[in-house]
Amino acid sequence: MLLLNISVQSQITYEKGYFIDNSGNKTECLIRNVDWMKNPDSFQYKLSENEDAQTGNLTNTQEFGVIGESKFIRATVNIDRSSQEVDKLTLVREPSFSNETLFLMVLVEGKATLYKFEDSFGANYFYKVSDGKIEPLVFKKYITRENKIGENVQYKQQLFNAFNGQGVTEKELSKLAYREKSLTSFFQKVNNESSIDAISYSKENRKKWINIILRPGIHYSSVNLEVSPTNTGLVRREFTFENKLSPRVGVEIEAVMPFNKNKWAVTAEPFYETYESELPISASQTLSVDYKYFGLGLGIRHYLFLNDNSKLFINASGIFAIDSGNSNIDIGPSRPIEKGSTVAAGLGFAYNNRFFVEFRHTFDRQLLNYVFQNAQYSGQSLILGYRLF
């Protein structure tokens, strides 16, 4: 917890930016760049590195940005906050607009400018041509009279009317999706057709990181067995096999998300582990476990930056035993080990985005699940990692 607290404090970084106040005065400053996934209604800035942080908001700021990364403008626009979730759709085809003052994220800036506003209801897009008014691009899902999902795609007609004669065709617009990547590409094309160099701030244009990481390690694990005397005649009911160190190897695919300063990632790791142990319980009987299995871990990772080269990370993942082969537990009769699943949590350190070390705890996973016998497998792993590419 102490390490996490230190790490969280060290992540608060301020980068070169600016803001424009209500009088039109532009001030260069340092802005706390959290790489906003959703549109903010305020931001923190410092006039110099050693000064206290101040807050800009919709009341006192008409524009702010982080140099080379993001730009937000204050605008009063019509916005439809209707939910796009299927179970919350209505029978109304037309948008239900409310007039609000918001910070809009600039995605493409040029003769044709594209804006985005995203919150818990979803993403809304807006556009402006030259020095005209900012208008919403209309898109809405609704329930038809036939009880099917319909779509109001008025934004296609809006864009055709605005850019007809500038290389835009009806066929092109018929395929235009109401998504950031698709709209960004369209607005960049429109500006190029007009020989205007557009500036793009879209996160869709950022490099998406897919890392392949080799992850060998050791696993310190044990098996706890419960056997009912009704079935076996044994006096004891619980048996704990010795903790054993065994090798493990895995290959992880890590997809780093292009928001929030690359602090989030999703992971998938196929791996192989083993566990073998014997437990004498009498002069004539010995219990044994022979467990060899392939697993698949699917998880979420959050990075906590210490400096430009070092970072901590925490994991939460689901672990699925997808192949137990000939694994078994011998308790008198030999019982095949079942496939199963569990969860795991990990804490690790990464250096230079190349070398990794992680401590992981895997919670109990059921190996046997009979009326008279059940067994749980759990343990801890120390995993080293090396990013191949």
User: Looking at residue 274, which CATH number applies to its domain?
Assistant: 2.40.160.20
pTM for this predicted structure: 0.66
Query: How do residues 66-84 score in pLDDT, each as one tens digit?
Result: 998 899 999 999 999 888 8
Is 270 part of any domain?
yes
Domain identity same for 225 and 288: yes
Domain identity same for 242 and 181: no
Residues 6+ positions from 238 with CB-CB distance below 8 Å = 224, 225, 226, 227
Last residue of a domain, one of 140, 175, 202: 202
Domain identity same for 171 and 120: yes
Q: Which has the minimum average pLDDT: 20-24, 103-107, 253-257?
A: 253-257
pLDDT in the model for residue 157: 94
Domain identity same for 270 and 149: no
Query: How do residues 340-389 score in pLDDT, each as one tens digit?
Result: 889 999 999 999 889 999 999 999 988 887 767 788 888 999 999 999 98
Is 182 part of any domain?
yes
Is 54 part of any domain?
yes
Domain membership of residue 261 as a residue range: 209-387
Return the higher-pLDDT residue of 150 and 196. 150
| pLDDT, the chain, mean | 87
Last residue of a domain, one of 143, 169, 202: 202
| Measured distance CA(47)–CA(53) in Å, rounded | 8
What total of structural domains would you count in the chain? 2
Is 344 part of any domain?
yes
Is 320 part of any domain?
yes
Answer yes or no: is pLDDT of 86 > 50: yes
Residues 6+ positions from 120 with CB-CB distance below 8 Å = 38
Proportion of the chain in helix, strand, coil states, percent, rounded to 5: 15, 55, 30
Last residue of a domain, one of 134, 169, 202: 202
Is 6 part of any domain?
no
Domain identity same for 143 and 62: yes
Is 5 part of any domain?
no
Domain identity same for 35 and 90: yes
Domain identity same for 177 and 232: no
Domain identity same for 270 and 159: no
